[in-house]
Amino acid sequence: MHDLLISGATIVDGTGAEPFTADVAVSHGRITEVGRVTGAAQRSIDAAGAHLLPGFIDIHTHYDGQASWDETFTPSIYHGVTTLVMGNCGVGFAPVRPGQQAQLIDLMQGVEEIPGSVLTEGMRWGWESFGEYARAMDRMPHSLDFMTLVPHDALRLYVMGERAARGEVASDDDLRQMHSLLREALADGAAGFSLGSTETHRTGSGQMTPSFQVSGHEMNTLATAFHGLPYRVLQAVDDFSATRGDPREEQSRFDREYGKIEAMAQVAGQPVAISWMDRVFAPRQSGWLAEAALHSARRGVDVRLACAPRGVGTLSGLDTTMNPFIAFPAYREIMHLPPAERAAAMRDSERRALVLAQSPIKLAVPGSSMPPVLDFVIAHFDHLAMDMFPCVEVDGSMDYEPERSKSLGATAQAQGVRPLEVMYDFLSAGDGSNFIYYPIFNYASGDLSKVHDMLLHPKALYSLADGGAHVGTICDASSSTTLLAHWALQRTRGPRIPLAQVVEMLTRRNAQFMGLGDRGVIAPGLKADLNLVQLDRLALPLPQIVRDLPAGGRRIVQKSRGYLATFVSGQAVTENGDITAARPGRWTRGPGATGTV
């Protein structure tokens, strides 16, 4: 008797091979047969007309805190993800010294925009080492499997305390301690090590992160912690000092920063995934990175380019972080009202005239949690509005590749008004739940042609979904659905990517990168992590604001349509878009973890 039998689905098996029709049998959490399967089953699903894919592997999330209050990893669970990786970008919650928790919360608030009050109320501490943290998370029931990286910032703060917060150079003794803690964590099952060095990543109090621009010596010393251990990975986000210093030396700064990361991967003898975006303020950088990764490969260093399948930017609405109207005093007077009432108050013609006639106040003043970029956006609004788009559904899906002619800027030009007026009227319409989409990165050409080329780079990895992070600004945890729906099926503004190739990126490629040989492909003996999908119904409805975080915190959540069921270890964790009571998810250790050094 099979536990589960899925019959007649079109299988896209994750290897990149052409789709084929077959039955899939599952028992004890594993796929047992693929082909023509006979015999009875506890549960049988007639899947004719549907597609069966492996579960998706999301290598870039920030659920480190959310994992302790949300068993289900929303919203990633709505988007076919069955295994996710947290601890990215150098930030996380272990190791941590007693009394240091608030500092890590401040860091997570600043870098990943998860409100400190949410983390303070939601997190249940009770660990000090990495292993204790991972086990504490594993004791809680979860829907999805999760892996975790050792974050450089937490490691540095643990060992160096305030000296790390001040960005001091690590002493030999500091390095010895960090090395041994990292080694212990890697042996204990950490999936790898993450580091972040970017000017936009700051603590909640506005300071640079503890591992901002650490020395190559520190990185190489930490890299030796990987020696003699099984396969592990490195993850890095870096702005390559693009805008710090003489513009004419931008490329040499890139080479130097890239060289540090490459050297670390070389010393560790392991691959590294580097965040890869087409950045507006450093337009040549993405090309340098593409070249550099190929150079590294020729030198035997495995550098992967972690990229997003769509523009990376912000969503602006009445209740999001990036709402420009909060800079206008006449809007601030009604800010306390619930969104629907506020929208109605905004539609009052006197109020409207007043707000639009006022000069904006500066938001990122000392003591404020507002990001300085918001002041910049407001100051340059008329120009930037050419890249801002009202979020509307086209055929039931949000349009992530809108024509520039639909931008706030172009609409304003056509109507002979200011872009801010167009935005005002759009956000104050109806119940005040509209959003403006502003793809800051990857959209300089006004379409996704650049992203197309990025996704096809031989070193590309599907990444940057950022689940759990930037909860008031984005919802890119849905980007796995964009990769599948937009790129394989629905794109009209340029070439698509074959379905089998897209599925391989979402599944086997990331599984292999993480060293997970037991998943990512539909084949007998492998873990029964599966997505049953009605491809022709696949859609991404507009995001919504929900107030379901601890301490009444709000976040942007985007669901999906078309996923009939997602299975983890053979158990359905979602059915027709609803989360089930099953909690088969486990902490998934890196391969060959021993627990001892």
* CB-nearer residue toward Zn ion: 151 or 570: 151
Binding mask 353-392 for Zn ion (x = CB under 5 A): ----------------------------------------
* CB-nearer residue toward Zn ion: 277 or 384: 277
Residues in the chain, total: 597
Stretch that binds Zn ion, among 3-11, 82-90, 150-158, 197-205 (CB under 5 A): 82-90
* CB-nearer residue toward Zn ion: 53 or 474: 474
Question: What's the min distance (Å) between Cβ of 60 and Zn ion?
Answer: 6
- 521 contacts 507 by C-beta, under 8 angstroms: yes
Contact between 474 and Zn ion by CB under 5 A: the answer reads: no
Stretch that binds Zn ion, among 85-93, 124-132, 317-325, 405-413 (CB under 5 A): 85-93
What token pair was written down for 50?
């549907």
**Pairing state between β 393-394 and 272-276:** unpaired
Question: What's the min distance (Å) between Cβ of 237 and Zn ion?
Answer: 6
* CB-nearer residue toward Zn ion: 475 or 526: 475
Separation CA 71–CA 283 (nearest Å):
40
Stretch that binds Zn ion, among 81-89, 120-128, 227-235, 488-496 (CB under 5 A): 81-89
For Zn ion, which residue of 10, 88, 109, 442 counts as binding (CB under 5 A)?
Answer: 88
Rounded to 5 degrees, φ, ψ at 436 are -110, 130
For Zn ion, which residue of 26, 89, 229, 346 counts as binding (CB under 5 A)?
Answer: 89
Burial (CB < 10 A; 0-12, 13-18, 19+), residue 200, is: exposed
User: Total residues contacting Zn ion (rule CB under 5 A)?
Assistant: 2
Question: What's the min distance (Å) between Cβ of 371 and Zn ion?
Answer: 16
Separation CA 116–CA 85 (nearest Å):
22
- 182 contacts 189 by C-beta, under 8 angstroms: no
Taking alpha carbons only, the member of 479, 566, 569 closest to residue 77 is 566
- From residue 357, alpha-carbon distances to 193, 324, 385, 386, 583 in Å are 51, 14, 18, 21, 54
Contact between 209 and Zn ion by CB under 5 A: the answer reads: no
* CB-nearer residue toward Zn ion: 89 or 384: 89
Hey, which bits of 365-467 come out as E strands? 389-390, 393-394, 397-398, 436-441, 460-462
* CB-nearer residue toward Zn ion: 74 or 433: 74
Stretch that binds Zn ion, among 47-55, 80-88, 208-216, 307-315 (CB under 5 A): 80-88
* CB-nearer residue toward Zn ion: 88 or 588: 88
- 521 contacts 530 by C-beta, under 8 angstroms: no
Residue with CB nearest Zn ion?
A: 89
Question: What's the min distance (Å) between Cβ of 85 and Zn ion?
Answer: 10
Where would I find the H helices in 99-193?
101-112, 116-122, 130-139, 152-160, 162-165, 172-187
What residue type is 145 in one-letter code?
A: D
Contact between 61 and Zn ion by CB under 5 A: the answer reads: no
The residues that touch Zn ion, with contacts defined as CB under 5 A, are: 88-89
